[in-house]
Amino acid sequence: MKLLVILLLAFCAITHGCPTILSKSAWGGKAAKCSSNRLPRPVKFVIIHHTAGEFCSSQSTCSAQARIAQKHHMDNQGWCDIGYNFLVGEDGQVYEGRGWANVGVHAPPYNSISIRISFIGTFTNRAPSASALNAAQSLIRCGVSGGYISSSYIVKGHRNVGSTECPGAKLYAIIKKWSNFKA
């Protein structure tokens, strides 16, 4: 019992209290067709998106939506991988895209100075579930404690850096209230 507690504490210390992050292979994602540039550490900006697709609330449906987003980015946008660094599902889980280390795709000049997190679904008329919002904030805290995101980071919506309605009016209204938000 004592050993179990020690192991558990050690595990928590290693993971910096990070949420569970499902690897690309766990959600059935394709391997990148290129090696993208490495993100410098720590990045100053966190950019919030929505996938503008279907909602999901289980690992199987969120995995399917992540695969659809990747297919769209690779086949229609012509990118060599899913553009997002991470996706967040309304099942409360985080799905790995390009991860902490690789540069994602947005509007320049933010590509190489930000982590891109996308909520799976369309949040124009509906807010994401509390579990999705908690997962995103936990992921950001994890990034700060892991040295990937600056402790003085700034959160922006995709619409603040490009001409798009992304991440949807309802989700945008929520992130605007986050303490690190700056339009």
Give me the residues that bind Zn ion (CB under 5 A), please: 49, 158, 166
Nearest distance, CB of residue 84 and Zn ion, angstroms:
9
Using the minimum distance from each CB to Zn ion, give the nearer residue, 49 or 73: 49
Using the minimum distance from each CB to Zn ion, give the nearer residue, 119 or 153: 119
Cβ burial, residue 14 (10 Å; 0-12/13-18/19+):
exposed
Using the minimum distance from each CB to Zn ion, give the nearer residue, 166 or 175: 166
Nearest distance, CB of residue 3 and Zn ion, angstroms:
46
Q: Which of 11, 18, 9 is nearest to 141 (CA)?
A: 18
Q: How far apart are CA 126 and CA 170, in angstroms?
A: 6
Nearest distance, CB of residue 83 and Zn ion, angstroms:
9
Cβ burial, residue 29 (10 Å; 0-12/13-18/19+):
buried
Using the minimum distance from each CB to Zn ion, give the nearer residue, 35 or 125: 125
Could you tell me which residues are beta bridge partners of residue 21? 94
Nearest distance, CB of residue 50 and Zn ion, angstroms:
7
SS3 5: helix
